[in-house]
Amino acid sequence: MSSAVSFQQVTKHYGSFEALKGISFDVEEGSFFGLLGPNGAGKSTLINAMSGLLVPTSGHIKVHGEDVVHDYRKTRRALGLVPQELIADPFFTIRQLLELQSGYFGIRGPEQSKWINELLERLALSDKANSITNELSGGMKRRVLIAMALVHKPRVLVLDEPTAGVDVDLRHTLWEFTKELHQKGHTIILTTHYLEEAEALCEKVAIMQHGEVKALDTTSELLACHPFRYVRVSVEDETQPLSEALKSKLVESDASGYLFKLEKQQSMSDMLGMLHQSGLDVKDIRSRDASLEEVFMNLTGAAQS
């Protein structure tokens, strides 16, 4: 497999603060890759360095084998970036912005106009094509950014929190759209706050914290390596006290019962024994494997917010 993007010992310092502490990993060509981490982990810094928006303090980043600093024009053409920050432009309409962006890459002509129309249609922006972006909702501004990132049909699409603050409908539209681009062969790099989104979409995931990569693996391997599984127990009377053994396994409780976590090697019979010993009046038991959210919390000790 060849690499779409290769990070080689990338650091970024702001004064004495190290936003990136020597990041090295590769994103395989054609993969759907998730970049996760709590706020301030360094995800946007890494993405911006890859896109040539900032220069790393040391290290190298290659896009399809070309260095993003030395071969900026070439690598910029291979990338489409959907930035985290929204834009609002009081001077240009959506269509004009897309034409300007095309011009920046030197692409014009009827084929390009056709592609722009297609993008407007796919992102449900056709009837707003002649509006200035100041007049648009947040979700629409996000879609304009996605259209702008795609005007030059980049091989690698990088989305920095594209679904933050976006309603459920649009989130699903964007999922479908990025899945389709992935199926067409584009490499997709996605950062997101929604871990169920990463779990559903990403084949491989890097989890960053404090400017370092804490874990990098296929999503299925990360889930399989998690040391716990989870047991939800519904009870008749949730005021009944739990035994010490059960308390040590408790994750959370609510009006309908408890969520326990169990070491993978521990058997369900142990769990049933403990419930029996506590004398709980059990209504229902459901056991499941970890979600990516739980893997993330276990690795970083933080909720992704």
Report the residue from 41, 78, 144, 205 that binds ligand ADP according to the rule CB under 6 A.
41
Binding flag, residue 302, ligand ADP (CB under 6 A): no
**Binders in 145-164 for ligand ADP, by CB under 6 A:** none
Query: Does 37 contact ligand ADP by CB under 6 A?
Result: yes
Angstrom distance (rounded) from CA 46 to CA 56: 9
Measured from the CB atom, is 36 or 119 closer to ligand ADP? 36
Least distance from C-beta 69 to ligand ADP, angstroms? 18
Give me the sign of the Cα torsion angle 194, 200, 202, 207: positive
User: Among 34-42, 182-190, 213-221, 281-289, which window interacts with ligand ADP (CB under 6 A)?
Assistant: 34-42
Edge-to-edge strand ranges of the sheet holding 282-289: 250-254, 257-263, 228-235, 282-289
190 torsion bin: left (phi>0), alpha (psi -120 to 50), beta (else): beta
Least CB distance to ligand ADP at residue 204 (A): 18
| Least Å from the CB of residue 155 to ligand ADP | 23
Burial 197-210 (b: 16+ CB within 10 A, else e): bbbebbebbbbbbe
Whose Cβ is closer to ligand ADP: residue 43's or residue 142's? 43
Taking the least distance from each CB to Mg ion, the nearer of 46 and 201 is 46
Please select the residue that binds ligand ADP; options are 40, 65, 227, 241, rule is CB under 6 A.
Answer: 40
42-81 residues in contact with ligand ADP (CB under 6 A) are 42-45
Inter-CA distances, 253 with 44, 116, 137, 216, 234, Å: 36, 51, 38, 32, 10
Q: Counting contacts by CB under 6 A, is residue 14 touching ligand ADP? A: yes
3-state helix, strand, coil in the chain (%, to 5): 35, 30, 35
Q: In the complex, which residues of this chain contact Mg ion (CB under 5 A)? A: 43-44, 84
